[in-house]
A and B are shown apart, each in its own frame.
Chain A
Amino acid sequence: MNEPTLVSARGVSLAFGAIRALRDVELDLWPGEVLAIVGESGSGKTTLLNVVSGRLRPDDGAVWYRDPQGVLHDVHAMPDPALRRLHRSDWGFVHQNPRENLRMGVTAGGNVGERLMAQGARHYGDIRAAAIDWLEQVEIDPARIDDFPRTFSGGMLQRLQIARTLVTHPRLVFMDEPTGGLDVSVQARLLDLIRTLVARLRIAVMLVTHDIAVARLLAHRIVVMQGGRVVETGLTDQVLDDPQHAYTQLLVSSVLQA
């Protein structure tokens, strides 16, 4: 690919005491691309997501982000206000547990509208129209706009979180096991929705999952992690159909057995 990268991690390492959670990780993400980070529990997936998104500082290495003007930023050298601004405009975060991100005491419409208001939107009618539009896009009945999230099912909560995150059209969304903890049928519908939305809006996604099937469905490329290292990376189909690394072969075969 000749297009410049959106995010690049170079030589990223991080240890928690004796645990080497990340070891010399290299990673590139291009605009509009869905990149899956796969690996077994404890392999460092969430830690990598947190380091790339600036929420955790690495011991070594750097993460670079290219803004819409083409200017490169060292994510961990950015002043806190600039990083926060990035997180509420160009970037988004979808947590495994939607309750961590949603405001449970605020209506569905208020949850979806918050990022718009944080960016300075001051027209109630426009904010409401955007909230209705986004509820529809994530297949929540717009009649529920003034209901509290606590009256929503787990799948609806996750879809509401997605609407709340995408309403400002971020260029990059970090997702950590977005379908974890949901019923299989609910998962399938949600995955389908995520795939449609990110393709249509050309959003780049860094997706953490331990579920190879999720990666296959959503991701253009895959990064396989083991013990804090990237052991294999490539186009999703190539990596999954013809895994080179012994650990990837094990991961893929264990799915086939399941």
Chain B
Amino acid sequence: MKGYNFGYLDEQTKRMIRRAILKAVAIPGHQVPFGSREMPLPYGWGTGGIQVTASVLGPGDTLKVIDQGADDTTNAVSIRRFFARTAGVRTTTHTEEASVIQTRHRIPERQLREDQILVYQVPQPEPLSRLEPSQAETKRLHALADYGLMQVKLYEDIARLGQVSISYDYPVMVNHRYLMSPSPIPAFDNPKMHGMPALQLFGAGREKRIYAIPPYTDVRSLDFDDHPFRATRAPHACGLCGATDSYLDEVVTDDRGGRLFVCSDTDYCASRRETTQAAAQ
């Protein structure tokens, strides 16, 4: 596409973002401020993730974009199209073919590799924001690794509700040091972050923060010894591919209240169905 630099952002901006990324990789889980640029998309459409993706993308890359696990939602389609036009990179819906995956709200079911980068879109990077409104204070709490307050929130859940009530954006400790928001992925996905071979980058456009989990980093969901973290999913098999290990969405199938549980990771579901079909033939 004419009139734009490769990946839309100018090279100087990309260099600035790459410096922030390098810093973030060097201090796993620590939020690094960056000079977020105006993007031709509204906040909430993943402008932080898009800027990170634009800065790590090269001409040889293959990009996959998912939203809630699906490649075909408006948000995913428009971001994919955006980079196909501004960077001319190959795009794919297949997890194993992608070298860069930008995501909102999910981690692909298929195990990622060392040669892949997972870029998360982050609406609120500060895991303590709901407990401590002052940014100066949350900064200090991170500096001192003073996370008793977050543990109190978990205590309160168990005391009042019998269990931790956080099902999305479940806070994690990264590399035994920084408390981190994994973005609004389901708690089910949290264990996938632990020791992941792929580089994980997180971009928050409105809040102007970048953070990272380098490959093979220790990532633990907060819990109590006697109330260990558990990754829960709907107790069903996928209505399309029969998977019992994937995260499921409940979809309405007709106007008479018909419902079906299906894989939220559409590529995972499709590839499982192809495999079964191939085996049947």
Instruction: List residues of A whose CB falls within 8 A of some B CB.
Output: 80-81, 84-85, 88, 103, 106-107, 109-110, 113-115, 117-119, 122-125, 127-128, 145-146
Q: Is the interface of A mostly helix, strand, loop or mixed?
A: helix
Contact A124 B155, beta carbon cutoff 8 Å:
yes
The docked-state distance in angstroms from the alpha carbon of A145 to that of B148 is 19
Contact A107 B144, beta carbon cutoff 8 Å:
no
Cross-chain pair count, CB within 8 angstroms: 56
Choose from B146, B155, B223, B226 the contact partner of A110 (Cβ within 8 Å). Answer: B155
Closest chain B CB from A131 CB (angstroms) = 9
Contact B155 A127, beta carbon cutoff 8 Å:
yes
Does residue B22 face the partner (Cβ distance < 8 Å to A)?
Answer: no
Known: A123-B224, A124-B224. A84 touches B144 (CB 8 A): yes
- Tell which of B146, B155, B223, B225 has the most Cβ of chain A within 10 Å: B155
The docked-state distance in angstroms from the alpha carbon of A127 to that of B223 is 13
The docked-state distance in angstroms from the alpha carbon of A251 to that of B189 is 67
> B45-53, B58-66, B156-164: which one contacts chain A?
B156-164
Residues of chain B contacted by A80 (CB below 8 angstroms): 144
Residues of chain A contacted by B227 (CB below 8 angstroms): 124
Residues of chain B contacted by A127 (CB below 8 angstroms): 155, 224
Q: Can you list 23 A-B contacts with CB-CB less than 8 angstroms, sorted by A residue number?
A: A81-B143, A84-B144, A84-B146, A88-B146, A106-B156, A109-B159, A117-B151, A117-B152, A117-B155, A118-B146, A118-B147, A118-B148, A118-B149, A119-B148, A122-B224, A122-B225, A124-B158, A124-B224, A124-B227, A125-B226, A127-B155, A128-B159, A146-B160
Closest chain A CB from B146 CB (angstroms) = 6
With CB as the reference atom, state the residue of chain A lying closest to B224. Answer: A124
Closest chain B CB from A193 CB (angstroms) = 25
Q: How many interface residues does B have (CB within 8 Å)? A: 18
Residues of chain B contacted by A84 (CB below 8 angstroms): 144, 146
Choose from B144, B148, B223, B225 the contact partner of A114 (Cβ within 8 Å). Answer: B148
**Which B residues from 212 to 228 make CB contacts under 8 A with A?**
223-227
Residues of chain B contacted by A113 (CB below 8 angstroms): 152, 155
Contact A114 B159, beta carbon cutoff 8 Å:
no
Closest chain A CB from B158 CB (angstroms) = 6
The docked-state distance in angstroms from the alpha carbon of A117 to that of B149 is 8
Residues of chain B contacted by A88 (CB below 8 angstroms): 146, 148
